[in-house]
Amino acid sequence: MNDVVKVPELREPLIPLSILAFDLAEAPASGWNAWLAGQGISIAFDDIGLRCISRADAQRLLDAARQNEVRRQDQAARLEQQAVEADRLRRATIWKGVPAAALPEGIAPAQAMFAADRDARPRRESPLQHALQNSGELVYHEFPADEDES
């Protein structure tokens, strides 16, 4: 009854790549072997022949994946906020039309809108109006060229 059980030599625990792949976003395009070699991580085989990496390396990869996800979510939130602001600015520039209470009796809404649009456009000042403003500036108004002189 005094059987002695021999405990195998303890090594650093290994995490199979097949299990780790579930928690990482997606497999690298170049394949796990090349990508892990580029990261400086060596692949070992466990007692049943599964490709594995050390627990510390797996922890480092999972931490990096979490940080990337947080960065991606922050960037998505910033882009969403920019899109909302751009949409708000775009909607603010859309002409709202003429309020129904401002329409005179007997005029169609389209006529009132065209008249309001025409009245909102800046008008050119005549040389006399400009001179009477006494701003000290000179404005040159070109005469249209006659088609006969060309």
Residue 35 lies in a domain: yes
Strand partners, 44: 52
Distance CA 52, CA 46 (A): 7
Q: Within a domain: residue 127? A: no
The percent helix, strand, coil of the chain (3-state, each to 5) is: 50, 5, 45
Q: Is residue 69 part of a domain?
A: yes
Counted domains in the chain: 1
Cα–Cα distance list, 12 to 7, 16, 19, 46, 107 (Å): 15, 13, 17, 11, 87
Q: Is residue 21 assigned to a domain?
A: yes
| pLDDT by 10s per residue, the chain, length 150 | 455 544 455 467 888 888 888 888 777 777 888 888 888 888 888 888 888 888 888 899 889 889 999 999 999 999 999 999 999 999 998 877 667 777 788 888 888 778 777 777 777 777 777 778 777 777 776 777 776 655
Nearest CA to 42 among 28, 27, 58? 58
Structural domain boundaries enclosing 41 = 14-93
